[in-house]
Amino acid sequence: MIPGAVLWLHLAPAQLLRHKLRTLLSFASVALAVALLVAIRIADFTMVRAFERIRSAMTPLEQAAPGSSGVFDYTLGQMRTISMGVTLVAAMIGLFIVFNSAAVSVAERSQQFGTLRALGARRRDVLATLLIESVVLGLAASLVGLAIGVLLADETVKHAVTSLNVLVQVIEAGRAEVPVDVWLLAPLLGVATTVLGTLAPARGAARVPPVTALSRTAAWRGQTARVTRWFVVAVVLAIGGTILVVRPDMPRSVSIAAFGVVVFALALALPQLILWLAAPVRGLVRRACGVETWLALDNIASAPARTSLTVVAFAGSLAIVVGVAGMLLSLRTAIWKWMDDIFAFDLSVQAHPLITTAYGPASFPDTLLTDVQADPRVLHACGVRGVFQPYAGRSILLIALDAGPFFQMLQRSGRLSDDASHSVIAALQRGDVVVSDNFSYLYGVRAGDTIDLDSPAGRRSFRVGQVREDYSWPLGVVLIDRAPYVAIWGDHALTYLDVQARDPADVAGLHGDLKRNLRAGVPLYVHTTASLKVAANNVLEDWFRLANAQVLLAVIIGGVGVANTLLVSVLGQARQVGLMRAIGATRRQVQRVLLVEAGILGLLSGVLGVLMGIAIAGLVAPIFMLRDSGYRFPFIVPWTTILLVIASGLIIALVASLLPLRTLRRVDVVQSIAAE
C-alpha cells in the first residue's frame, strides 16, 4: 500500500508545475479576485476609521446633530452593495475557472489515478491529493492577491472617498489603513475558492473504480453525465434566489447572496440548454458554414459543463458593465428632466464650489438676499436653506425656500404648465409642506397626512399638502416655505440664493458682477444653471467611478477564464487534434477551429452578458434602489454600451485564444493518437 502522505507530497506540487500555463491562469483569476476584495475591505475600513476620528473630535452637541452620521452610513452602505456585488461575481468567475482546470486535470490523470488505485492507493488518498493541490494554489494566489490589493488600496481609498463626498463632505482622503482581518480574510477567500472549485471533480475521481479510471474516454464522459440533474437543481435554486432578491424585507447582504445563487443556477442550467440546442444548430451550421465552424461547435457541445461555466463567468463580468451603464443612464435621464423642470433661475449663489460636494455645510446670512434684490438687473431672487433633519431614524433633507419668488420664477420661465406645479406652490404658500416621492414611499406618507419634525422649539406637526418628484436627497426631501421655517427654527442663514435675470441676454454680465461684488464674510461662488447640471452629471459619474474600476478587474478575470477554457479545450481534445493532423488537416486549419470556438464563446458571453446586464439594471437594481431610497427611475437601455460589450466580448475572447494557440503548436501527433 502506498503511504498517503508520500502520495500527497509527491503528486500535488508536481502536477501544479507540470501544467504551468493552466496553473498560471487559475492562479491569476483567484489572485485578482482576492486583490479586489482586499482593496475594497481596506477602503471600507479606512473610511470608517476616518469618520470615527472626525466624530471623536466633535462636541457631544455636534455628534447629536443630524446629518453627517446618517449620510455616511447610507452612502457607505450603497457603496458596499455595489462593491460586494462586483466582488461576488469576480469570486464566482475564479471558482468556475478553477473548476474547469480541476475537471480537465482529473480527466487527464484518470489513468494515473487508476494505476495508483490498483497499486493500493485509497479513495481518500486521491481526494486528498487533489485538495492539497487546490490549497497550495489557493494559498499562493491569495498571498499574491493580498499584495496586489494592498498596493491598490490607496487608489481605491481615493476613489471611494470621492464617491462618498459627492453627496456630503464628511471625510478627507488619506492613506489607506490595513485592518488586521485582511491578513486572514485574503487566504480564506483564495483557499475557499480553489477548494470549492476542485471539490466536485476530486470527489468524482475518488469514486471511480480503478478499471474504469484507466480509460481516459470514460473519464471525459463522466464529466457530462449529470447535466439533467443539474438542470433540475438549477430551476429550484433560480426560483428560490429570485424570491429572496425581489422580497422588499430582505437584508441587503441576503439579497446580494441570493443574486449570486441565481447566477450560479444559470451556470448549472446552461449545460442542458447547450445539449438541447446542439443537434439542430450543428445540423444547420454543417450545411451553411465550413467544417472549421462545425468542429468548433462540436467542441463546445461535447463539453457543455465547461462551456457553460466559461460563458456564464465571462458574461457575468460583461453584465456588470451593462448594468452600471444602464443605471447611470437611467439616473442621468431622470435627474436631468427633473432639473429642467425646476431650474427656473439663471444663477445660483452658494458658499461652496461644485467640485467638492453636492451638500456642503457652509452657509451665508440672508441679508445678502436684500443686496441682490436691489440690483435692477435682477428680476427675482429666491433664498434657499437646506439642512439635514432626523426623521424615523434617518437623515432627511429639509429645504426651506421663498415660495413666492420661486413661484414667480417658474411662471416667468413657463414651467408652471400643469396643475400639480400650481398645487405645490399653493401648498407651500398656505403653510403646508411638500414631500418627495421617495419620502412618501419610504415612510408611508401621503398627501393630507401629518408629519412631525423636531425643531429648537420642540416637535412640530405639519400637514403634507402635496407629494412631488424630487431627486435632491435619496432618504427623502421635505419642502417648506422659508417664512415659517425661520419663525420655528430661528435659522436665518441661506445655503443657496437663486437669481433670475430681468434680461436673459444680461446673464453673463450679472454673473461677473455678482462674483466680484458679493461680500458675506465667507467665500461665495456663483454658478450658472448649465454648470449645476454638469456638476450633477459629474456627481453621478463620480458615484460609479469606483464601481467602474472594480468592473475592469472583473472583466480581466473573465478574459482569463476564456483563455483557461480554450486551453482546457486544446488539452482535452489533443487526440482529436492529432487525428485531424494525421488525416491531412494543416496546422492553420486546426488553429482556425480554435479561433472560431473562441469567437463563438465570446459572442455567446457578450449576448448573455447583455441580457444579464439588462436584468441587473432594469429589474434587480430598481428593487434595491426602491428598497433603500424610494426612487423609481424609468429604465433606459444603454444601446451604445451594449454594442461595445458584444464587440468587447468577441475581441477579448480572440485575444485570450493566443496562449492556447501557442499550446496547440506543441501537440505531438503520434503521442496524441496513441491507443489507450
DSSP string, 284-299: HHHHHS-HHHHHHHHH
Give the Cα separation of 36 and 145 in Å (integer): 8
In a domain, 633, yes or no: no
Residue 427 structural domain: 363-521
Give the Cα separation of 279 and 283 in Å (integer): 6
Instruction: Determine contact, residues 267/93, Cβ cutoff 8 Å.
Output: no
Instruction: Determine contact, residues 533/336, Cβ cutoff 8 Å.
Output: yes
pLDDT-derived band at 669 (thresholds 50, 70, 90) equals low
Which residue shows C-alpha cell 461547435?
Answer: 297
Instruction: Determine contact, residues 174/553, Cβ cutoff 8 Å.
Output: no
Instruction: Please say which residue of 209, 224, 239 terminates a domain.
Output: 224
Query: What's the whole-number mean pLDDT along residues 499-518?
Result: 86
In a domain, 322, yes or no: no
What integer pLDDT is reported at residue 4 of this predicted model?
47
What integer pLDDT is reported at residue 566 of this predicted model?
66
In a domain, 605, yes or no: no
In a domain, 146, yes or no: yes
Report the predicted TM-score, pTM, of the whole model to 2 decimal places. 0.77
* Least trusted range by pLDDT, from 70-84, 132-146, 283-297, 421-435: 70-84
Mean pLDDT of the chain: 77
Which residue shows C-alpha cell 485538495?
Answer: 131
Instruction: Determine contact, residues 304/274, Cβ cutoff 8 Å.
Output: yes
| 349 bridge partner residues | 497, 526
What integer pLDDT is reported at residue 453 of this predicted model?
93
Which of these, 363, 362, 384, lies nearest to 169 by C-alpha position?
Answer: 362
What integer pLDDT is reported at residue 219 of this predicted model?
46
- CA torsion 622-627-631-636 (nearest 10°) is 0
In a domain, 628, yes or no: no
Give the Cα separation of 446 and 429 in Å (integer): 19
| 54 bridge partner residues | none
C-alpha cell at 457: 422649539
pLDDT-derived band at 672 (thresholds 50, 70, 90) equals low
Instruction: Please say which residue of 468, 498, 521 terminates a domain.
Output: 521
Which of these, 586, 607, 606, lies nearest to 654 by C-alpha position?
Answer: 606
DSSP 629-657: H---PPP---HHHHHHHHHHHHHHHHHHT
In a domain, 637, yes or no: no
Q: Taking 80 as the threshold, does the pLDDT of residue 1 lie above it?
A: no
Alpha-carbon torsion (275, 276, 279, 283), positive or negative: negative
Q: Taking 90 as the threshold, does the pLDDT of residue 21 lie above it?
A: no
In a domain, 18, yes or no: yes
What integer pLDDT is reported at residue 37 of this predicted model?
77
Q: Taking 70 as the threshold, does the pLDDT of residue 234 lie above it?
A: yes
Could you give the number of structural domains in the chain?
A: 2
Q: Return the top range by mean pLDDT from 416-420, 609-613, 647-651.
A: 609-613
What is the percent of the chain where pLDDT is above 90? 12
DSSP 8-state symbol, 491 = -
Q: Taking 50 as the threshold, does the pLDDT of residue 108 lie above it?
A: yes
Give the Cα separation of 323 and 55 in Å (integer): 36
Instruction: Please say which residue of 224, 246, 272 terminates a domain.
Output: 224
Determine the residue type at 636: I
At 523-558, the pLDDT tens digits run: 788 889 888 888 777 777 766 666 666 666 667 766
- 199 burial level (CB within 10 Å; 0-12, 13-18, 19+): middle
Which of these, 134, 252, 282, 148, lies nearest to 198 by C-alpha position?
Answer: 134
Q: Taking 80 as the threshold, does the pLDDT of residue 447 lie above it?
A: yes
In a domain, 310, yes or no: no
pLDDT-derived band at 657 (thresholds 50, 70, 90) equals confident
Q: At residue 107, what are phi and psi to the nearest 5 degrees?
A: -65, -40
Q: Which long-range contacts (CB under 8 A, 24 or more apart) does 608-611 make?
A: 608/311, 608/312, 608/315, 608/319, 609/314, 609/315, 609/316, 609/317, 609/318, 609/319, 609/321, 609/322, 609/645, 609/649, 610/318, 610/319, 610/322, 610/642, 610/645, 610/646, 611/319
At 242-259, the pLDDT tens digits run: 888 878 777 777 887 888
- Of 287 and 604, the structure prediction assigns the larger pLDDT to 604
Q: Kind of pairing, strands 458-468 and 496-501?
A: unpaired
Sheet with 394-401, side-by-side order of all strands: 450-455, 458-468, 433-436, 477-481, 394-401, 378-391, 496-501, 347-350, 525-528
Give the Cα separation of 139 and 27 in Å (integer): 10
Give the Cα separation of 215 and 220 in Å (integer): 9
